[in-house]
Amino acid sequence: MKIYSKPVKIVALLILTISIIVAGVFSTFVSLAANLGCYSDDQTWYDNSIVWDIQSRQIHFADQWYDYYQKQQTGALSLSEQNDFNIYTEQLVKSSVGMIRVDNLGNKTPIAGFHYIENSGINEYEKLPDRISNDEYYYEMYFNTNSDVNDNYKKAYDTFNNFLPNRYNYLIYIGISTVICFIAYIILLIGSARNSNTGELEVKYIHKIPFDVLTIFILPIFIGIFALIFEEIYYNLDELYLFIYGIAVSCVIGIFALCLAWFHTFVARIKTKTLIKSTLCYKILRWLFDKSKYAFFKVKDTAKISDINLEDKKNNLNEFYEKCSNNLKSANIKGKAGTLYNNITSGMSITAKIYLLFIPFILLFELFVVLLINSLFLGFIFLILDVLIFIKINKICLQLTEIKNAGEHLAHGDLDYKISVDTFKGELLNHAENLNKISDGMTVAVEERLKSERMRYELLTNVSHDIKTPLTSIINYVDLLKSQPVSTKEAEEYIEVLDRQSVKLKKLITDLIEVSKATTGNITVNAVQMEVKELLAQCIGEYDSRFKEKKLEIVMNTPDEPVSIVADGRLLWRVFDNLLGNIVKYAMPNTRVYIDLTNKFDTVIITLKNISQTRLNIKANELMERFVRGDASRTTEGSGLGLSIAQSLTELMKGQFSIEIDGDLFKITLKFNK
């Protein structure tokens, strides 16, 4: 199995995703363990930034409570302040940390957790470092390890004890996940931009998005997620303990995944040599360069206008510049170039065009939220909503692309192509089902037409064979009559008419059978490498007497060396025979017939030119139809099937057949591959 095959890519992507998630989760554990002091030398749960931040908040809260407490002692506490004081008191009581306020005189006032202190005593508490607020007082801190209050102190203590035994295991898990992630990612990089079946380099999916647009889209997300982590992770631990670290996990995974996706498309564009060409800036600059170059050379060409001589320029410069300006206007640069957007997005898929419109909108909206509303958290929430909308739009774009591809397949005759409508909904589902119905209807129509063609061929063949049997008898009896003595001159003339018309009818029936076989492909073609120059000369030699009788001079131009093509000699002889017979019938006497054989690089071209005896008041494509002849009076002996047979046989041999009419000049061109 090739490393770029689809199963390998899917397995590698699945392993990469799992390893990123595992590494992200354990990286978050390591970060939290480090913030809680699990990796410090003294390994104390309270000597870390998180607990100190919790204490600072609680001390600020305790200072407010103490102010109300002082007012209560003096009776200056208002009713609303009394209500707030009761709320503060209840909250401070429910704390696993006892706080005692000590002033500069040594007076102590229990603030937080004093309910447990009064009933159990300070000895059951673990002494924490004192927190000095200012020169007038400080706080003695005591933590109750047996407290049933699950506040932020208790969460930090329990988390520290849970993380401490496994702190090095987390690092090992991260290392293993990183190695697995690295191996899977290397496999994806090797298979990037390669077709899963052929292994050839190709550009698709994310690699079609302009690289600078993609980078500009990813960069603010990258910065925004980092800013969100540093803004929220420490200051909201007491309120959003699990939620914030859940966001941290998502942010770490998201940042890493974005970096990997960006580098993956970076490598793919380098491999396909489209890194610079895939940028929006390059497309704009290229478009401007092409248009300026076009205008420059147009002015340069205008300066060489033949109808303005040097004397006119000297005598009337204004007229010269006016003509140049008119020439530039007539070029209609704007009309030819189209709109700027159409030029930039030319060759892009529907999905890429939608990205080009939607991504700037997302960036502007996020910029508005972050700068004007001044909230990174709200900006992150809106970013998640934008990503969900983007995923929905991407799904619709993929469905539109599938519908577009189905239309192209139907336009090119692939009637068996069907759209899988399992993921379609709404109007797109109706449209996809209609395309499938069109495919079914066209298949039925084609089958009916083929059936009609077969029936017509069988009818024509059967009738022709049935006619040939009595016609053969008529011809034989006419031959017998010609060998017998004739009583009168009139009878002899009658026998001649019967002979001539029966032969003509036999020729017509033979042509009918042949054209039927040729148009339905019921002729075996044995195409081989053959010498066409000699075959053409032999066929012309067969018609030499008829050309002389019609007083036609053959002018043949052929190369000196042998010319070979891939064709069936038997069928090619029939083509030459029909075309030369057509010339004998319809060419004007006492004129020249030009037959040219041209040997190109990979093609051989055969042209036959003659002057028509009658006026050609018919279009070239009409002459290709069956039973159509150049003489409207139908006085010649032809059946009108010769050109149709020649065209069908030429196309059966993978050649090209064309007719040109210029006045009375009749030209036939044949093209065959070498």
Structural domain span for residue 55: 1-191
User: In terms of domains, do 174 and 312 share one?
Assistant: no
d(CA 114, CA 559): 116
User: In terms of domains, do 354 and 334 share one?
Assistant: no
Specify the DSSP element, H or E, that contains 125.
Answer: none
| CA distances from residue 131 to 98, 100, 141, 155, 411 in whole angstroms, order as listed | 12, 10, 7, 20, 81
Q: What tokens were used for 360? A: 């700037």
Chain centre to alpha carbon of residue 428: 18
Note the pLDDT of residue 173.
Answer: 92
d(CA 211, CA 221): 16
Split at pLDDT 50, 70, 90, the class of 309 is: very low
First-to-last alpha carbon distance for the chain, in angstroms, is 39
Domain boundary at 174, 191, 208, which? 191
Domain boundary at 149, 173, 191, which? 191
pLDDT tens, 104-153?
888 888 888 755 444 445 566 788 888 887 778 998 888 888 878 878 78
User: In terms of domains, do 204 and 177 share one?
Assistant: no
Specify the DSSP element, H or E, that contains 115.
Answer: helix 114-120
Residue 589 lies in a domain: yes
* Ranges assigned E (strand) in 486-644: 528-531, 552-557, 564-567, 591-599, 603-611
> 3-class DSSP state for residue 263?
helix
Q: State the chain's maximal CA–CA distance in angstroms.
A: 165
Cα–Cα nearest to 634, from 509, 504, 460, 475: 504
User: In terms of domains, do 445 and 406 share one?
Assistant: no
Note the pLDDT of residue 606.
Answer: 94
Residue 419 lies in a domain: no
d(CA 536, CA 558): 10
User: In terms of domains, do 615 and 537 share one?
Assistant: yes
d(CA 598, CA 558): 7
- The better pLDDT of the pair 82, 252 is held by 82
Cα–Cα nearest to 191, from 134, 89, 271: 271
Chain centre to alpha carbon of residue 310: 54
- Please tell me the least confidently modeled range out of 199-203, 409-413, 507-511: 507-511
Q: What tokens were used for 329? A: 């206007």
Q: Which residues contact 576 (CB under 8 A, 6 or more apart)?
A: 535, 536, 539
- The better pLDDT of the pair 462, 492 is held by 492
H helices of 332-425, in order, are 333-337, 340-344, 350-368, 376-411
d(CA 140, CA 98): 8
| CA distances from residue 223 to 231, 263, 385 in whole angstroms, order as listed | 12, 17, 18
Cα–Cα nearest to 510, from 452, 577, 461, 575: 461
Residue 416 lies in a domain: no
Q: Which residues contact 625 (CB under 8 A, 6 or more apart)?
A: 644
User: In terms of domains, do 541 and 610 share one?
Assistant: yes
DSSP string of 469-529?
HHHHHHHHHHHHHHHS--SSHHHHHHHHHHHHHHHHHHHHHHHHHHHHHHHHT-S----EE
pLDDT tens, 14-59?
999 899 888 888 887 887 788 778 888 776 888 877 788 888 888 8
What is the DSSP pairing of strand 656-662 with strand 591-599? Answer: unpaired
In the DSSP assignment, the letter for residue 135 is: S
User: In terms of domains, do 239 and 323 share one?
Assistant: no
Note the pLDDT of residue 56.
Answer: 84
Split at pLDDT 50, 70, 90, the class of 225 is: low
Report the domain count for the chain.
Answer: 5
pLDDT tens, 548-596?
999 999 999 999 888 889 998 888 998 999 899 889 988 999 999 999 9
Domain boundary at 158, 191, 224, which? 191
Averaged pLDDT of the chain:
76
Split at pLDDT 50, 70, 90, the class of 278 is: confident
281 and 356 Cβ atoms separated by less than 8 Å? no
User: In terms of domains, do 19 and 111 share one?
Assistant: yes
Note the pLDDT of residue 363.
Answer: 66
Cα–Cα nearest to 150, from 94, 87, 99: 94
Residue 515 lies in a domain: no
Give percent of the chain with pLDDT exceeding 90.
12
| CA distances from residue 92 to 67, 72, 82, 111, 335 in whole angstroms, order as listed | 14, 17, 15, 7, 77
Q: What tokens were used for 303? A: 């300066």
Cα–Cα nearest to 530, from 562, 558, 556: 562
Cα–Cα nearest to 29, from 225, 151, 164: 164
Residue 101 lies in a domain: yes
**For residue 446, which amino acid is it?**
V
User: In terms of domains, do 48 and 164 share one?
Assistant: yes
Note the pLDDT of residue 520.
Answer: 63
Note the pLDDT of residue 255.
Answer: 74
Residues paired with 672 in a beta bridge: 604
Q: Which residues contact 34 (CB under 8 A, 6 or more apart)?
A: none
Q: What tokens were used for 393? A: 């739009």
Write the Ramachandran bin of 313: left for phi over 0, alpha for psi from -120 to 50, otherwise beta: alpha
Residue 498 lies in a domain: yes
Q: What tokens were used for 12? A: 């590698």
**Is the Cα dihedral 49, 51, 53, 55 positive or negative?**
negative
d(CA 646, CA 178): 71
Q: Taking the complete model, does pTM exceed 0.85, yes or no?
A: no
User: In terms of domains, do 151 and 8 share one?
Assistant: yes
Note the pLDDT of residue 8.
Answer: 87
Residue 156 lies in a domain: yes
User: In terms of domains, do 123 and 16 share one?
Assistant: yes
Side-chain half-sphere CA neighbours of 373 within 13 A: 14
User: In terms of domains, do 128 and 251 share one?
Assistant: no
558 and 582 Cβ atoms separated by less than 8 Å? no
Cα–Cα nearest to 637, from 581, 554, 591, 590: 581
Q: What tokens were used for 370? A: 């972050």
**Most confident option among 14-18, 487-491, 521-525:** 14-18
User: Which residue carries 């049933």 as its tokens?
Assistant: 148
Residue 421 lies in a domain: no
Beta-carbon neighbour count of residue 300 at 10 Å?
9
Q: What is the CATH number of the domain that holds 611?
A: 3.30.565.10
Work out the angle between the directed axes of helices 642-652 and 569-586 (0-180°, nearest 10).
Answer: 150
